Structure 1
Amino acid sequence: MADLFTALRPEREVIREGVVLLAGFADSEVLLDAVAPLVAAAPFRHMTTPGGRQMQVAMTNCGALGWVSEPSGYRYSPTDPLSGKPWPAMPAVMADLAARAAGAAGFSAFEPDVCLINRYLPGTRLSPHIDQDEADKSWPIVSVSLGIPAVFQLYGNVRGGTPTEIPLYDGDVLVFGGLARHVYHGVKKLAQESHPRTGEMRINLTFRRAR
């Protein structure tokens, strides 16, 4: 049923102002091949929030900068705190995909300098939040889904209320910018699913312009 539904979706769907879903836009096989050596160089880890809670979603980074959590807050760092080395360089195939997706959504000249690589397992979720650590929030965020499905939850300028729920499947790209950069968003708890390439796992690539 899911395969039939995904085949019938429009290639480009405007969810609300500044939020565009590009169904099946990404080649997941190519991107998963690109991600594997990045994760080998900078393994997934469960960061701890400044409040002392362990994050459910495991993550790592690639690019000129990486997003990290410290007791004093969140920030972008040029080095991996686990190794002390620079984050792995962002592969051209990933940067190109992000730029093309942003352009297809109406945001031209996007050149990401960081990609957050997130690993979701069944039962994990991402609490509603706003991405606030980028220097210039006029740039969009490009979010790529690989592996098992997820449901993206889009709120408003406050955390509560009933969200708009956006099902995301392998190869989908969600772009949000403009006023939508300032709204709360999260990911609903993942259902038990399996994917031929990733198994019981979803990989999310989140491209940003941090500086």
Structure 2
Amino acid sequence: MNWENIIADVNHYSNNEQSVLQLIEMGRTLPLKGLHLSPYWVKKAVRDLDNSSLPIYTTIGGEEGCALTQVKLFELEQAIKHGAFDIGVHLNMSAFRSNLQWCKIEFLQLSQLAHKKERCISLSVPSSIHDQQEAEQISALIKQNGIDGITLMEDNISYLSTFEKLDIEIKLKTNELTKFQHLLEQNETALMVPYVNLS
């Protein structure tokens, strides 16, 4: 098991404190790449890990990225203040499919704030990409706006090669680690980090 490629996550944001404590304990005992928690638990994880160098990842802006940009900026500030290293923001697919310019403006503001505080900002694609053209548009959005990484769901794996061309961290979100283990072994050019249900 290549633990160094794994960002461990709880099953769902509604999990209780016991699940979060189990996750933190894993961070203490396994050579993980990082822990992913909801913004609510970031401060506790950082405190409990007691100045550990283990990066904390979180995601802001709501499940479908539909929160207002001003809300996302506030959430980003709080996540940074509480100690998150890499903050993901769901791509607002409704805005993306209506007017791509709205997403460009939003991610430019988010990346500028994150980089000013020396933190990473990632784009998370919450639903299925329609086609190759849409994948290319997302790739351009990343390239033009200083985004440091992307999180892809399992059903977007066929578009992986589009994002491998970018100099960013690629994270695959999955509950089935074994399904992606061969990809981790076969493709060393892209950093693929499964999120796994280890709670």
Q: Aligning the two structures, in what range does the TM-score lie when normalised by the shorter sequence?
A: 0.3 to 0.5
Report the TM-score when normalising by structure 1: 0.32
Quick check: which one's helix share is greater?
2
- Whose strand fraction is larger, Structure 1's or Structure 2's? 1
